[in-house]
């Protein structure tokens, strides 16, 4: 009986000491998954906007809750710049005189409506410059097509690839 009493006292002491260790131990911030210990990253505790973005990255970024629509140029026929035709017939000049004038001339000035239409004309952003017959360097052949859709008169075609 005396031996059973000692075993019981030792068992009680072991249980009490284990409970004391559990209460005094510092809780760890780890999850035990299938025998592995996975430490939690300190970055998980941070708010998503902890780091302030520089002006370079914060500019032109919509707020998370704002909704916006993308404007397309599907109604380009409504945006075509109408140029008035002269009521009087225009004098015809020899082709040699015109071609000499074209090679030395600068790009024709365009209206504000034309440039507005060009800026709304969505194309691929690949840079592959082409020189148009109007002596304008276009970003790529699709921007040249936009010029024709926006009412470039006379119609522009590709004179050569590359800048003018």
The domain that contains 154 carries what CATH number? 3.30.60.30
Q: Is residue 91 part of a domain?
A: no
Beta strands in the chain (DSSP E): 30-33, 36-39, 130-132, 137-138, 158-161
What pLDDT is attached to residue 46?
52
What pLDDT is attached to residue 137?
93
Q: Is residue 103 part of a domain?
A: no
Q: Is residue 121 part of a domain?
A: yes
Q: Is residue 124 part of a domain?
A: yes
Q: Is residue 123 part of a domain?
A: yes
Average pLDDT over residues 109-129: 90
What pLDDT is attached to residue 109?
78
Beta bridge partners of 11: none
What pLDDT is attached to residue 17?
81
Question: What is the chain's mean pLDDT, rounded?
Answer: 70
pLDDT one-digit tens code per residue, 39-61: 665 555 555 554 455 444 444 45
Please choose, from the candidates 121, 143, 79, 73, the residue with its C-alpha nearest in 3D space to the C-alpha of residue 156: 143
- Mean pLDDT: which of 16-25, 27-36, 39-48, 58-67 is highest? 16-25
Q: Is residue 154 part of a domain?
A: yes
Q: Is residue 55 part of a domain?
A: no
- Which of the four pLDDT bands, split at 50, 70 and 90, describes residue 148? very high
Domain that includes residue 152, residue range: 115-164
Please choose, from the candidates 158, 111, 112, the residue with its C-alpha nearest in 3D space to the C-alpha of residue 135: 158
What pLDDT is attached to residue 55?
47
Q: Is residue 71 part of a domain?
A: no
Half-sphere exposure of 76 (CA within 13 A, CB side): 17
Number of structural domains in the chain: 1
pLDDT one-digit tens code per residue, 69-113: 555 555 555 555 555 555 566 666 665 555 555 555 666 678 899
């Amino acid at each position: 009986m005396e031996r059973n009493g000692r075993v019981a006292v030792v068992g009680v002491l072991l249980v009490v000491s284990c409970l004391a260790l559990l209460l005094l131990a510092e809780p760890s911030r780890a999850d035990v998954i299938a025998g592995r210990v996975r430490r939690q990253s300190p970055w998980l505790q941070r708010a998503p906007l902890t780091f302030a973005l520089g002006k370079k990255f914060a500019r032109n970024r919509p707020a998370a809750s704002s909704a916006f629509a993308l404007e397309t140029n599907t109604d380009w026929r409504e945006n075509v710049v109408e140029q008035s035709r002269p009521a009087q017939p225009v004098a015809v000049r020899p082709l040699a005189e015109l071609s000499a004038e074209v090679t030395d001339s600068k790009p024709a000035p365009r209206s504000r409506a034309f440039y507005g239409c060009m800026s709304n004309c969505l194309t691929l952003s690949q840079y592959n410059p082409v020189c148009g017959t109007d002596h304008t360097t276009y970003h790529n052949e699709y921007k040249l097509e936009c010029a024709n859709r926006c009412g470039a008169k006379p119609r522009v075609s590709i004179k050569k690839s590359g800048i003018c």
